[in-house]
Amino acid sequence: MNGETTSSVLTCVYCGKEYPEGTPAWGSQVLTDHIKVCEKHPMRELEVKYRKVRKALADMIGCDNKQELDSMESIMRIAQVPEVDRVNMLNAIDAVRSTIDCIATDSCKATTEQIKT
């Protein structure tokens, strides 16, 4: 190439953040770490939706921590309700229970304000 050297700068396609020349695009934790905090990455919108759905289910059930969910499940298993209602409630309890780790570790970055909108 006529003695010219080319350099490439790793750049986030969502927010434009640039990393030093020579930063590898793969095999490095740099992009993975950035994706977790990039405000313009599409995952932020999914996190907001995820938290909204979780909150709606928890509000419907009336609880959202492991102890309350376990108790509610025990009650629903013996309650005299139509089977379809029992199944739906047990599925909702299971869905909320499966998200406890995400919420507890705050690995879903959506803010409370984003959830309300």
Residues 46-58 have pLDDT tens digits of 999 999 999 999 9
Distance (Å, rounded) from C-alpha 66 to C-alpha 89?
15
pLDDT-derived band at 1 (thresholds 50, 70, 90) equals very low
pLDDT-derived band at 103 (thresholds 50, 70, 90) equals low
pLDDT value of position 59:
94
pLDDT value of position 29:
86
Q: Which residues fall within 8 angstroms of residue 64, CB to CB, at 6 or more apart?
A: 54, 58, 96, 100, 103
Contact 18, 10 (CB under 8 A): yes
pTM over 0.85: no
Mean pLDDT, all residues of the chain: 83
pLDDT value of position 7:
63
pLDDT value of position 58:
93
pLDDT-derived band at 112 (thresholds 50, 70, 90) equals very low
Mean pLDDT along residues 61-70: 93
